Chain A
Amino acid sequence: MENGYIVLDDVHKSFGSKKVLNGISISVPKGQSLVVIGGSGTGKSVMIKTILGILRADSGSIKVAGQEVTRLKGADRDQYLSRFGMLFQGAALFDSLSVWQNVAFGLIQGRKMGRGKAREIATEKLGQVGLGPEVGGLYPAELSGGMQKRVGLARAIAADPEIIFFDEPTTGLDPIMADVINNLIVDSVKRLGATTISITHDMASARKIADRIAMIYKGEIVWQGPASSVDSSGNPYVDQFIHGRAEGPIQMDILKP
């Protein structure tokens, strides 16, 4: 816990009467990749948005590089956010901007870099995710889902962030494209030496990109350990999840026929 770069301690978050995060405690050492697995609606996305400060935690502490970040405001918050990159589930590309402008957005608007220089970097980052310079002039609506994800990845790594979050990076992609994205994630994270948290329910993806895996259920971490031990965890929640069984301790909120 002490050497964690990102440390969450007993973080709670509710929406009205619905408890979404129910005392999350987790620690990610610098340069490591944590994958958080869990079903839909278990609080994975909320956890990441709470770390970013897009959502405000009700209680508990979140420390990044030793700095308490739950109550950051104004310039401190901008400074804090400039360390992050994030790949969103639906890529979340700005559809009014061309691909290169999307990738360069954080450089131009956030870091006040000149457009010419930013475009060079954008083209280079697009190259790193396997997209040629000609893609830069297209608009997001003209791209396939896999290409959008790759542009989203290029945008996430454009400003060389220290920390990258991946929200369901392979959801909605075919297995081959999913593996391409996984490889790109592993490559780009290694190149940057970044600390990452990914959330997914795709076990193939989790095995490929994780150093450690944590399982979240009903807003709590029910298991965590090295990625290699996920198959021998002895934890009934994890076993049920990785084998995709309907029977087990995890009950879906559906009516039995």
Chain B
Amino acid sequence: MIFLIDLGRVVLALLAQTGRVALFIKDALIQGLTPTIYVRQILDQMYRIGYNSLLVVGLTAFFTGGALALQIYLGSSRLNAEQAVAFIVAIGITRELGPVLGGLMVAGRVGASIAAELGTMRVTEQIDALVTLSTNPFKYLVGPRLVAAVITLPILVAIGDTIGIMGGYIVGTRSLGFNSYAYLKNTTTNLHVDDVTSGLIKAAVFGFIIAIMGCYHGFYSKGGAQGVGRATTNAVVSAAILILAANFALTSLLFSD
């Protein structure tokens, strides 16, 4: 019995939460993305979300590309298919690992900082103060973060893709003995535009998820420092899980020939 009561409570809480998120997304889109548009805020957020994440995303991509080249070489040598290394590294990075790992790293960095910033603004009444100064918080705070994340995530992932393939190239030519020209040739002839764009579409969706989760949890945080801490954790965890779920959904959608 007690188990059923607990189960019911969890399900109800989950449904209520889903409803609140849905309403928040509605407000974010309808109020946040219609005039007045705060261009200055969007540019500021693009700098903070995009430029400041370059190092993290670049390093992640570089090491992932390197590790991928090593693993695929070891695996493919059992089948005498070493020539596939360059091509599989490129596909693996652009289709999956670039957007997913990049998205997860940005979720940790940016999702947390959005939630902490808006959460602090909430508990110190700065969001209420915006309202009394005739400024809609959805337009001033949520909209710009949403736009900035959706624009910058694909750019970040495109840069990450390049660095990741370069990581694979360095490992391939320096320690696995591939010919430099052959490796590059193998990458460019087999990599299709679709491979890259599918990853960039994923990145845009992940950017939306990161910004919405950060804003939602920050916006409704309460209870002082502890509440802000909780909001930050929830923003990162929920964004990470949603990114992985959305990645699965998008992969089956984009690659269902």
Contacts and interface: CB of A to CB of B under 8 A. Distances in A.
Interface of A: 49, 52-54, 78, 81-82, 84-86, 88-90, 92-95, 105-106, 109-111, 155-156, 159, 165
Interface of B: 38, 121, 124-126, 128-129, 131-136, 140
B130 to A, nearest CB: 8
A82 to B, nearest CB: 5
Given A81-B131, A82-B134, A85-B132, A109 B140 contact: yes
B20 to A, nearest CB: 14
Contacts of B136: 78
A54 B131 contact: yes
Contacts of A159: 133
9 contacts: A84-B132, A86-B132, A92-B125, A92-B126, A94-B121, A95-B126, A106-B133, A109-B133, A110-B134
Contacts of B133: 105-106, 109-110, 155, 159
Given A88-B129, A109-B140, A155-B129, 6 more contacts: A52-B131, A81-B132, A86-B128, A86-B129, A106-B133, A159-B133
Contacts of A85: 132
Contacts of B125: 88-90, 92
A84 B121 CA distance: 20
A92 B134 contact: no
Contacts of B124: 90, 92
A92 B131 contact: no
A109 B135 contact: yes
A248 B126 CA distance: 37
B128 A88 contact: yes
A52 B140 contact: no
A110 B136 CA distance: 9
Contacts of A94: 121, 126, 129
Nearest to A109: B135
Contacts of B128: 49, 52, 54, 86, 88, 92
A95 B136 CA distance: 18
A111 B134 contact: yes
A190 to B, nearest CB: 21
A84 B125 CA distance: 16
Nearest to B126: A92
A92 B38 CA distance: 21
A98 B77 CA distance: 62
A78 B134 contact: yes
A170 to B, nearest CB: 17
B140 A92 contact: no
Given A90-B124, A92-B124, A110 B135 contact: yes
B57 to A, nearest CB: 24
Nearest to B139: A109
Nearest to B136: A78
